[in-house]
Structure 1
Amino acid sequence: MSDSPADLAVANGAAEGAPQLPPLYRSLEGLTADRHAALRLRDAGYGFASGASAVPLAAEEFTIAARSLPIVFAAQAPHMPVVLTGLAAGTNLFVDGGGAWKIGAYVPAYLRRYPFFLLRTAPDSEELALCIDPAAPQVSETAGEPLFTPEGKPAPQLERAFAFTRAVEEAMLRTRTMTQHLAELGLLKSSVVQFEQHGKPLRIDGFFAVDRPSLAALPPEQLAELRDRGWLEVIYAHLLSIGGIPELARDIRG
């Protein structure tokens, strides 16, 4: 993998035709100085995620995210983890009307990486292209820090964005490896959380979680492997975080 956004710049349209856009992205274009020389990056808050009731999360974020956000696994394979930010579709209880994130709550790296993304230049290629969502509210031609210098070189802002975007992508790949291993061990199973809300029973389902009895039944050598790979701590953070789901129900806006 290249160490500079300049090395990753691709021809116009290289990112087009992707089979499916990642969550929250409306479009993706490979960044080039010729096409995007005028673009700047500004702080526009998190209003773009106001309709996201679940946000992808990397395993390395579990221990800190678990303090403020419930972490579950998607019901569909490969069962990638997400944090729940609302219990109703299209609702994010962690973003206020002005686009500010809830004070004290963890902001997933997936959101902090936006509007950038890495895509392969071809299905069978290892070369990655740094892409941007040009429709993102963070993107402007009049406000914020420039992405390119007047000479067409990557500006410091773009260098930082590339480094962080690459780190997030690598963390997600490691997370996928962990999730696949947990599934192979039979630890990820359909789960349900039930509790009372305003004196009435409430049932939250449609997600996967690590099954405690299956975890407890693992042979010592498999438990040791999870421990040695740092995944046992991740599992416990996930299990503890699920206790925050009832709080999401209490926070549902009128």
Structure 2
Amino acid sequence: MASAPQSLPLFYNALEPLSSETHAAFKMRMLDRATFLVGQHAIPVTVDEFVMAQRTLPIVFTSGDDAIPIALMGLNEGVNVFIGDDGKLTEDTVYVPAYVRRYPFMLARLRPDAEELSLCFDPTGEAIGAFDDGEALFADGKPTEVVQNILSFNEQFEQAGARTANFMVELRELGLLMEGEVTLQVEGNEQPFIYRGFQMVNEEKLNELRGDQLRKIQKSGLLPLIYAHLFSLSTLPQIFDRQVRLGKAPVPQLVN
């Protein structure tokens, strides 16, 4: 799921390879907020996170042939019901996707034709810089344990991204994805809120799988992941209720 620097992914304003020479004096400090997450309602997730994420966040799939799984922290553009305007979490029990936790780092190809991925970071982020406080990234010209742990986390994320890509291929090959639609009703409003513009697993087609196909998804571990996605949809009304209570519900009309 790494992207080339010229095609910056969500959250990243720039990418710079981490260097023991250029960034010898850089430190990383722990922050109690994530301002980049304010107003971000849809976050990419990997299949490794489905079981944990489904307890508090709906997991759906983006539209189109190159669909990826996303966790919804809000149901409308610009609304994240778990992050305050100051960037602090308002709910400690909500699952925070690995995509968020890896920022401002990521593994990326420095050139489109490069085979290896390099550890890069967003220099506009607030967590890294030539600070007086924080944990050193380099000592005596070598990466510290902090960097080694960051690299390991990002490598695991990339591996999970590859497993996620395989999962999506299987879903498409089995024809299990369909255009999603969710209708939510708010007490006092005659008109319901209808959400579209995403994909979900077609339970009817799932239940029709027989023989080799069913055995295949059972053995591959696909079935538990599908059910984690389906179970997660039960949290949609809870997310919407939080929007209503925050005064961030949309005007009662069809929402695409």
Q: In structure 1, the residue corresponding to 2:212 is in which secondary structure? A: helix
Is it true that 1:59 corresponds to 2:65 in the alignment?
no
Corresponding residue of 2:229: 238
From 89, 94, 105, the counterpart of 2:77: 89
Give the Cα separation in 2 of the matches to 1:174 and 1:78. 15
Q: Say if 2:106 is the partner of 1:117.
A: yes
Kept in 1, the 8 Å contact 2:104–2:122? The answer is yes
Task: Say if 2:82 is the partner of 1:106.
Answer: no
Separation in 1, partners of 2:207, 2:3: 46
SS of the residue aligned with 1:118?
strand
Q: Partners of 1:16 and 1:82 in 2: how far apart?
A: 17
Residue 134, structure 1, aligned to residue 146, structure 2: no
Q: Report deviation, 1:219.
A: 2.5
1:78 Cα deviation (Å)? 1.6
1-structure distance, mates of 2:237, 2:119: 39
Instruction: Give, in whole Å, the separation in 1 of the partners of 2:183 and 2:3.
Output: 44
Please list the CA deviations of residues 33-69 of structure 1 after superposition, one character each: whole Å capped at 9, or x if unmatched. 1111122111222222112110010001101110000
Q: Distance in 1 between matches of 2:55 and 2:78?
A: 23
Counterpart selection for 1:161 from 150, 157, 160: 150
Give 2:254's aligned residue. Answer: none
1:135 and 1:240 map into 2 onto residues whose CA distance is: 37
- In the superposition, the TM-score normalised over structure 2's length comes to 0.88
Task: Please show how residues 222-233 of structure 1 align to structure 2 within 5 Å.
Answer: 222-233=213-224
2:27 to 32, 40, 45: 40
Q: Which residue of 1 aligns with 2:138?
A: 148
Cα pair 1:41 1:139 within 8 Å, conserved: yes
1:70 maps to: 58
Letter in 1 for 2:117: L
> Any stretches of 5+ residues in structure 1 without a counterpart?
1-14
Report if the CA contact (8 A) 2:4-2:111 is conserved: no
Gaps of 5+ in 2: 248-256
The answer on whether the counterparts of 1:48 and 1:137 sit within 8 Å (CA) in structure 2 is no
1:87 CA displacement: 1.5
* Shift of residue 16, structure 1, vs aligned partner: 11
Aligned-residue sequence identity (percent) comes to: 38
Shift, 1:220, TM fit: 2.4
| Cα deviation 1:123-143 (Å, max 9, x = unaligned) | 333211110011111123213
- Say yes or no: does 1:210 pair with 2:201: yes
Shift of 1:187: 0.5
1:20 aligns with 2:11: no
Provide the rounded CA distance (Å) in 2 between the counterparts of 1:232 and 1:17: 32
Residue identity opposite 2:230 in structure 1: L
Question: Which residue number in structure 1 is paired with residue 171 of structure 2?
Answer: 182
d(CA) in 2 for partners of 1:49, 1:168: 19
